[in-house]
Chain A
Amino acid sequence: SQQGEEDPQALSIQEGENATMNCSYKTSINNLQWYRQNSGRGLVHLILIRSNEREKHSGRLRVTLDTSKKSSSLLITASRAADTASYFCATDSRTSYDKVIFGPGTSLSVIP
């Protein structure tokens, strides 16, 4: 099975609200990344957090990592219609360092 699992599967919010997505994984990791995918397009890297980090910010994005719970969250503040996309977490593993495995994704709809 895949290493990462996002929750919820789908999320619909009003523009201006915050969106929170969660990711859980199964094995020890070196780092966790979040990606965005607009419909029918390739993925765009958003942020990387290393296993020894607990929180990271990038613009309106805030990522947390709890290695004891094997989970991460992505918070998008003050959402915009342009944030509508699918969001994926991706992890490597300590035993397979060069393979990046993606979860099933959260589909976010931001309603203007």
Chain B
Amino acid sequence: EADIYQTPRYLVIGTGKKITLECSQTMGHDKMYWYQQDPGMELHLIHYSYGVNSTEKGDLSSESTVSRIRTEHFPLTLESARPSHTSQYLCASSAYTGLTEAFFGQGTRLTVV
């Protein structure tokens, strides 16, 4: 069982609200990722981090922001949620060597109404 946790699992929120999706891992991994996935579709990389104080945007343009103040914590924030943000958000982590598997959290399914 992977030690990477996402909260909340499900979130229904109104348009314009600020939300933060939490992701924590206890494996000491330097690399962490956020992916966005619509039902039955591929994953799109939206943010990643090499380590503390390092964040990069992924391939999919996203209005969200991330921070990496602690190794184990990689929260994703939407300042003003819109219905177009409705999706599943998956957090993952992997060891820094770059040749190791990624461990995924269970995901947060976000619905913006």
What are the interface flags for B30-57 relative to A under an 8 Å C-beta threshold, 1 for contact and 0 otherwise? 0101010000111101001010000000
Question: How many interface residues does B have (CB within 8 Å)?
Answer: 28
Candidates A45, A48, A103; contact of B42 at CB < 8 Å: A103
Q: Can you list 16 pairs linking A and B with CB atoms under 8 Å apart?
A: A30-B99, A40-B88, A41-B107, A42-B90, A42-B104, A42-B107, A43-B43, A45-B101, A48-B99, A86-B40, A92-B98, A97-B98, A98-B50, A99-B58, A102-B42, A102-B45
Decide if the interface of chain A is mainly helix, strand, loop or mixed: strand
Given A101-B45, A102-B43, A107-B40, A30:B102 Cβ within 8 A: no
Decide if A45 touches B99 in the complex (CB within 8 Å): no
CB distance B35 to A102 under 8 Å? yes
Kindly state whether residue A44 has any CB partner on chain B within 8 Å. yes
Residue in B closest to A45 when the chains form the complex, CB atoms: B101
Select from chain A the residue with minimum beta-carbon distance to B4: A42
Take A48-B99, A50-B99 as given contacts and tell me if A88 and B104 are in contact as well, using a CB distance cutoff of 8 Å: no
Given contacts A2-B42, A42-B90, contact A100 B102 (CB under 8 A): yes
Contact residues of B with A, CB < 8 Å?
A: 6, 31, 33, 35, 40-43, 45, 48, 50, 58-59, 88, 90, 92, 94, 98-107, 109
Instruction: Point out the residue from A42, A90, A99 that lies within 8 Å of B105, measured CB to CB.
Output: A42
Q: Given A48, A86, A97, A98, which contacts B101 in the complex, CB threshold below 8 Å? A: A48
Once A and B bind, how many residue pairs between them come within 8 Å at the CB atom? Answer: 64
Nearest to B50 among chain A residues (CB) is: A98
A31 sits at the interface (CB 8 A)? yes
Bound form: Cα–Cα A45–B102 in Å = 7
Q: Which residues does A use to contact B, with CB under 8 Å?
A: 2, 30-31, 33, 35, 40-45, 48, 50, 86, 88, 90, 92, 97-105, 107
